[in-house]
Amino acid sequence: MDMVLLHGSWHGAWCWHKVVPRLEAAGHRVLVPDLPAHGTQWRWLRGRTTLHHMARAVCNLLDTLPEPALLVAHSRGGIVASTVAEMRSDKVAGCVYLAAYLLRDGERVADYFRQDKDSLVRRHIQISRSTLTDALPPAARQATLYADCDAADVALAQSLLTPEPSLPALTRLRLTDKRYGRIPRHYIELTQDCAITPALQRRMVAQSPCASVQHIEASHSAYFCQPVALSAAILRVAAPQAPLG
């Protein structure tokens, strides 16, 4: 199966480096793009980057593949996966939301973000109205995103994080039952998450029931601190005959 891994806010394709070889070793082809204005593409449009720009980039990638792919989306990347599923329902085999925003038609990240009162992101985020971007100050990043990650992972992230375009979080999703609604959804909850809290994760799953829900004892960056458990969870979705944990 082809898999497309979508990073979340401030990150890039680099954050999946521990997960990709494990999925490939199981026989899957794994594609890991930098979304527009992230990673190697971070200067492109920057604050003017929209949710449509991000979704279109993923759609263009899916259009090169011979078969529908499994989308795995982390954090704010969840809205990209949902939008892509709406735009290319024939090219998406399923969506896996990893501690990600799982929203319904007409909803936007900004509203859920404000309601997640225990989130450390909400407490520390810095928003630039002049550049239409947001970021976390370096001193707040470890506690917020990498609480159980080792020093090398934190150092890597600190050197590569970039400002996040804010417009996608302000955009209301446009999803239909005919297209997005027919795509199987799966959720992986991170039970120690200080960015998108477990309470919010559970609330979103309750509002948008999923074909499967798995749990990993990890903070927000499970691809760093729990790559074996995370890879296994993704592989269980890809091979549904295996029991879900």
CA distance readout (Å), 147 to 90, 153, 181, 226? 38, 11, 35, 12
pLDDT of residue 241: 40
H-type helices in 43-100, by residue range? 51-62, 77-87
Burial class (CB in 10 A: 0-12, 13-18, 19+), 212: middle
Say if residues 216 and 245 touch (Cβ distance below 8 Å). no
pLDDT at 244: 44
**Which stretches of the chain drop beneath a pLDDT of 70?**
240-245
Domain count, the chain: 1
C-beta separation of 44 from 133 below 8 A: no
Domain membership flag for residue 245: no
pLDDT at residue 240, rounded to an integer: 65
Let me know if residue 215 belongs to a domain.
yes
Structural domain including 220 reads 2-238
In a domain, 244, yes or no: no
Amino acid in the structure at residue 10: W
Residue 199 pLDDT: 97
Q: Could you tell me the two tokens for 233?
A: 């969870």
Does any domain span residue 110?
yes
Is position 217 within any domain?
A: yes
Residues 6+ away with beta carbon under 8 Å from 65? 2, 31, 91
Q: What pLDDT does residue 40 have? A: 85
Q: Please report where in the chains the tokens 């375009």 appear, as a residue.
A: 165
Residue 82 lies in a domain: yes
Q: Name residue, tokens 């979080």.
A: 169
pTM score, whole prediction: 0.95
Q: Tally the residues of the chain.
A: 245
Q: What secondary structure letter does DSSP report for 240?
A: T
CATH number at residue 80: 3.40.50.1820
